[in-house]
Structure 1
Amino acid sequence: MTMSGWGLILVFTALVALLARPLGQWLFALYDGRDTPLHRLLGPVERGFYRASGIDPAREQGWLAYGLHMLAFQVVLTLFTYAILRLQGVLPMNPRGLAGIGADGAMNTSIAFVTNTNWQWYAGESVLSNFSQMVGLTIHNFLSAATGIAIAFALFRGFARHEAKTVGNFWADCTRVTLYLLLPLCVVYALFLVACGVPQTFASLVEAHTLEGARQTIVLGPVASQEAIKMLGTNGGGFYNANSAHPFENPTALTNFVQMLSIFAIGSGLTWCFGRAVGNTRQGWAILCAMLILFVAGAGIAYWQEADGATLAMAGGHMEGKEVRFGIAASALFSAVTTAASCGAVNAMHDSFTAIGGLVPLFNMQLGEIVIGGVGSGIYGFLLFALLAVFVAGLMVGRTPEYVGKKIEAREVKLAVLAIAVLPLSILGFTALAAVLPAGLAGPLNKGPHGFSEILYAFSSATANNGSAFAGLSAGTPFYNGLLGVAMWVGRFFVIIPVLAIAGSLAAKRHTPATTGSFPTTGALWVGLLIGVILILGGLTFLPSLALGPIADQVSVLAHTAF
């Protein structure tokens, strides 16, 4: 461990906090339907879209209609992508003549990108054409991110409105977020990446001559445009199999740092946006503070384990699976960032981390990826825990729980528990199934605890809509494609529906002013309670599975026992 390594983690965390307000202000303008500086340029495009599609953006929807429209949109998008992947061989922009993808692989990939998971069982440069990458997949990087932010906006309105029957208009929210936030940011970001050396071309291949005199064929394509939204939208699906460890996706230490910042940028801004929406920005700062404390703790443990080469008798730290361009600190930090958010992009191979170093990204996902989290999904997932925390606080002071002016009653608590329970039911249930069936046991390349960790990581990643993997699992089989596809769908939409129901329930309530008996939800005590509830409810649920996987793996390393 070095001071520069710890400094990298602390500087990164400080910059994330500094980005919260400016991005939060922009997000609040979109949430509130206000004009931004881009409306003069892009307003006609927005209005033209509404006219062409017959949508009235001023006509708001109740939570049920909002959810049904959202689900219908996702089903259509899933079928659209499935068709593109299956028909890839006869579609244009396929200079290498790649064939269409099999039914189970196409199903898995279409669900992965619609749900913002971007799980990849394939090597992108070897399996997908430029058309499939751009039209089949990159489009979902925008729309899945916009959907997550739209759901967050609906929940914000539930807290902010009084005696209302509506929570917004799904189509208007998605359109505004895509048009005025994601697209402009990605244009600037993609140009920055091109300037740093990331390819952006329709050329198919380039041939390089190695120092040994051999020839190496390198695939090119529209990489920068996909890379930009991959990070900003917390998608994570890479153009190349090596993802952000590939020099064409992540060429320098500067691009590596900017990529990490971009993963957290919109998620941090949504915390400020929430505070502004409920009329008290201190609420947003309290949430961000709790998130960053959990994040720094996780990143610090990962860095400590990977840099402590003494445990594995490795002088200078544990460099297996890491890029020399980035080193241990930047690799450990990236692993914590990408799994605290539901991104899944990687600049190092998590399967090669130490046992406890690999436990950190696994645990981040099992918490529900609420430590900053995915765009939209992080903040609405965190607010579920906030409802349970204020319920616990209400029990302690003997009052009906209240949060940001709304009484939290049995309906909201039950819905929050239902949404939170989706993760352990899916992760542990599917992991148990894969750990006993022959088709599941054929996947791990390792035996013993580490092999179990590979299975547990896969279903944690799928259900939490992350998409990263312990690469030792051979998941491109009908069994894993099918089961992981179900886990991704469940982890996304079985959480969203209770969240929207909570939004509708809260919107219909009256505003309850704070009194001297109200539990304060902006100070250090509240932040501590939030962290405690998250670790107890979100973390201890998975302790037995972690004990069978990475913890047992660490014990075997210390005992010099091989499996």
Structure 2
Amino acid sequence: MNTHEWLYLPSLGLLLTLSAPILGSWMAKALSGERTFLSRFILPVERAVYRFAGIQPEREMHWRTYLISVLVFNGLGFLALLALQMTQRYLPLNPQRLPNVPGWLAFNTAVSFMTNTNWQAYSGESTLSYLTQMAGLGVQNFLSAGTGIAVLLALARGMVRHSAETIGNFWCDITRTALYVLLPLSLVMSLVLVQQGAVQTLAANATAHTIGGATQIIPLGPVASQVAIKQLGTNGGGYFGANSAHPFENPTPLTNFLELFAILLLPAALVFTYGKMTGSKRHGWVLYGSMLFLLSAGVAGALIADKYMQNSMPGLPFEGVETRFGRTTSILWSLFTTAASNGSVNAMHGSMAPLTNLVQMFNMMVGEVIFGGVGSGMYGMILCVILTVFIAGLMVGRTPEYLGKRIGRYTIIWASIGLLLPSAVIMVGTAISCLVPAAAAARLNLGPRGFSELIYAWTSAAENNGSAMAGLNASGTFFTIGLGIAMLVGRFGVIVPALAIAGHLGQSKSVPPSSGTFPTDNTTFAVILISVIVLVGGLTFFPALSLGPIIEHLLLGANRLF
């Protein structure tokens, strides 16, 4: 590692730690309806949206009504994107005259972008028209991120309210999220990307003649606008098949740094939004510190593993890695993107060391709570916090309490469901893939590497990440259907428990803190929380990981490759 690489991670960490609390506090005000410096410009638009859609922002919802609104809203988005893909050949803004997307692939893609997963079993530049990319994928990038933030806001309200039947208005929450947060940030980042050289055009693909006399087709399109929200909204789906390794998506070292920063910006800021909304800023800092520690530990482990692989096999250091940015920066991206449920890549994960792949999978397997997706990472972390508080209460023989609310049987059951459902999908899906001949044959590699490709795919889908090891042909019917179902369970199998807990705690009475209350705003709690996260992920998946990246690492020392 050179000096530039040594400074890269601390610079990102410092910038994130300085900016996230400021943005998070501002979002708490803006998303609660308080006036901000943007209200002068956006408030008239917000009111116009309410009038046009018939929304009454003062009418709040019971948690079941809120959940139904979430499901209906996302269901309509799924149907719209599905229809757009299956009719794109008849629609405008298709200069390449691309055909309609096949049925099951369209289903998989619609589910993927509706659930904020952005798993891509296709190459965007050769499969989707400009209209489908903009009005379909681009719009869903905003709406899926907005849904995650809205659910987090509802959960925060449930924590602070007492004897209340409502947790907010979903339509109001998602409107404010889009207008005050996602659209302004995406506009600024899009302009920066265009200035740096990212493509943004509706012109048809360009034709170039090479020095050798060959003809080359250069794909173009409205790229910069989609890259901005794919990073800020932790969506991750690339306009091109190469994702952010493509120079039209990520043209310079500056854009590489900014896109890396954007991956974690909103997930980190929402930690402080939650802290301010619940009146416990110190608790927000404890959660942020826990996430940052887990991410930093993973980065250290992955870099050590990569150094070991380079020493063992010096001929492979740059295979599959974007040489414009270097191997270390590529590893950082892979860990940021798996920790934040983003899924974008600037290098191929399958080209990295086995233990680096293990860290990538572990980031997802713990429930995407190491920052996680926009909104979804934070409400997933709260489920872990509830489990931690419950365990701590059992250890001292006290009724568990969290932010002034007693954690009883109802709450812990729903929290357990939200934590266990994605894990069950990963294990069952991987097992079935090993048994079904068509699924097993989709692997590019055999042995532990092939098994890693399978479990990575199911983990990425169930945890709504979207990245892949790229050694698996996931375009067949088995994976398009199976991974689509996994994405649905992984998304709504956590949203339902989060809203159920929000409704239940909002109806509960607050209890004053006592000498027996376990504090959640100190280092002791952070240590216990980190231990619970690591143990839950480790105990659940260690046997499976032993069959994949761990044994591959051991065989690498014996110069055996797969």
Aligned to 1:383: 382
Decide whether aligned partners of structure 1 residues 80 and 411 sit closer, same or farther in structure 2, where only a CA change above 3 A counts: same
The amino acid that maps onto 1:196 is: Q
Paired residue type of 2:125: E
1:435/1:441 contact within 8 Å kept: yes
Aligned partner of 2:543 in structure 1 is: 544
Alignment of 1:44-59 (within 5 A): 44-59=44-59
Q: Which residue of 1 aligns with 2:88?
A: 88
- Give the letter for the 2:16 counterpart: V
**Do the aligned partners of 2:148 and 2:374 also contact (CA within 8 Å) in 1?**
yes
**Partner SS for 1:321:** coil
2:5 counterpart of 1:5: yes
Deviation at 1:263, TM superposition (A): 0.8
Letter in 2 for 1:468: S
CA RMSD in angstroms comes to 1.3
Deviation of the 1:351 alpha carbon: 0.9
Contact 2:163 2:508 in 1 (8 A): yes
Cα separation, 2, equivalents of 1:424 and 1:142: 27
Shift of 1:312: 2.6
For the residues of structure 2 that align with 1:362 and 1:506, how far apart are their CA atoms?
Answer: 33
**How far apart, CA to CA, are the structure 2 residues paired with 1:362 and 1:311?**
23
Report the counterpart of residue 289 of structure 2 in structure 1.
289
Residues 9 and 299 of structure 1 are in contact (CA less than 8 Å); yes or no, is this contact kept in structure 2? no
Residue deviations 1:349-370 (CA, integer Å, cap 9, x gap): 0011111111111111111111
Q: Match for 1:408: what amino acid?
A: I
Aligned match of 2:168: 168
3-state DSSP of counterpart to 1:207: strand
Q: CA deviation at 1:30?
A: 3.0
Answer whether contact 2:309 2:353 (CA < 8 A) is retained: no
Alpha-carbon shift at residue 186 of structure 1 (Å): 0.7
* Cα distance between partner residues in 2 of 1:90 and 1:196: 34
Deviation at 1:403, TM superposition (A): 1.3
In structure 1, what is the equivalent of residue 129 of structure 2? 129
Measure the CA separation in 1 of the matches of 2:491 and 2:226.
22
Aligned to 1:245: 245
Q: Per-residue deviation at 1:401?
A: 0.8
User: Is 1:38 matched up with 2:38?
Assistant: yes
- What residue in structure 2 maps to residue 441 of structure 1? 440
Residue 2 of structure 1 deviates from its aligned partner by: 4.4
The answer on 1:318 being equivalent to 2:313 is no
| Structure 2 CA distance for partners of 1:211 and 1:528, relative to 1, 3 Å | farther
Shift of 1:37: 1.8
| 1:306-455 correspondence to structure 2 within 5 Å | 306-314=306-314, 318-455=317-454
What are the Cα deviations for residues 148-184 of structure 1, in whole angstroms up to 9, with x where unaligned?
A: 0000000100111111111100000000000111001
What TM-score does the superposition give when structure 1 sets the normalisation length?
Answer: 0.98
User: Are 1:244 and 1:250, in contact at CA under 8 Å, matched by a contact in 2?
Assistant: yes
Q: Secondary structure at the match of 1:217?
A: strand
Alignment gaps of 5+ in structure 2: none
Structure 1 stretches of at least 4 aligned residues deviating more than 6 Å after TM superposition:
none
The separation in 1 between residues aligned to 2:243 and 2:95, in whole angstroms, is 22
Equivalent position SS for 1:544 = helix
User: In terms of mean alpha carbon deviation, does 150-159 or 515-524 score higher?
Assistant: 515-524
Aligned partner letter, 1:68: I
Q: How far apart, CA to CA, are the structure 2 residues paired with 1:372 and 1:542?
A: 20
Could you tell me how far apart the structure 2 residues matched to 1:292 and 1:420 are? Answer: 21
2:273 aligned residue: 273
Aligned to 2:208: 208
CA contact (8 A) 1:307 1:329 kept: no
Determine helix, strand or coil for the equivalent of 2:191: helix
- 2: CA distance, partners of 1:113 / 1:198: 22
- Structure 1 spans left out of the alignment, 5+ residues: none
Quick one: which amino acid aligns to residue 140 of structure 2? H
8 Å Cα contact 2:405-2:509 kept in structure 1: yes
The answer on whether the counterparts of 1:307 and 1:328 sit within 8 Å (CA) in structure 2 is: no
1:432-511 pair list within 5 angstroms:
432-511=431-510
Specify the code of the residue in structure 2 equivalent to 1:330: T
Whether 1:220 and 2:220 are equivalent positions in the alignment is yes
The separation in 2 between residues aligned to 1:373 and 1:430, in whole angstroms, is 22
Could you say which residue in structure 1 is the equivalent of 2:182?
182
1:208, 1:421 → 2: CA distance?
52
**Aligned residues of 2:310 and 2:317 also touching (Cα < 8 A):** no
Opposite residue 376 of structure 1, the aligned amino acid is: G
* Aligned equivalents of 1:194, 1:263: Cα separation in 2: 18
Equivalent-residue separation in structure 2 for 1:505 and 1:78 (angstroms):
29
Displacement, 1:19?
1.6
- Contact 2:414/2:501 (8 A) holds in 1: yes
Q: How many residues align?
A: 562
Deviation, structure 1 residue 562 = 4.5
Whether the 8 Å contact between 2:422 and 2:493 is mirrored in structure 1 is no
SS in 1 for 2:429: helix
SS at match of 1:439: helix
Structure 1 Cα separation of the partners of residues 210 and 455 of structure 2: 40
Indicate yes or no: 2:507 matched with 1:516.
no
Q: What are the residue-to-residue correspondences of 1:69-108 with 2, within 5 Å?
A: 69-108=69-108
Residue 469 of structure 1 aligns to a residue in which SS? Answer: coil
Letter in 1 for 2:461: A
| Offset at residue 215 of structure 1 (A) | 2.7
In the alignment, residue 43 of structure 2 is paired with which amino acid?
G
In structure 1, C-alpha distance between the alignment counterparts of 2:208 and 2:227, rounded to whole Å: 23
- Report if the CA contact (8 A) 2:362-2:537 is conserved: no
Q: Secondary structure, in 3 states, of the residue corresponding to 2:373?
A: coil
List per-residue Cα deviations over 1:376-403 (Å, max 9, x = no partner).
0010000100001111111122111111
CA contact (8 A) 1:78 1:111 kept: yes
Cα deviation for residue 4 of structure 1 reads: 4.0
Match of 2:198, SS state, is coil
What is the DSSP-based 3-state SS (H/G/I as helix, E as strand, rest coil) of the residue aligned with 1:216? strand
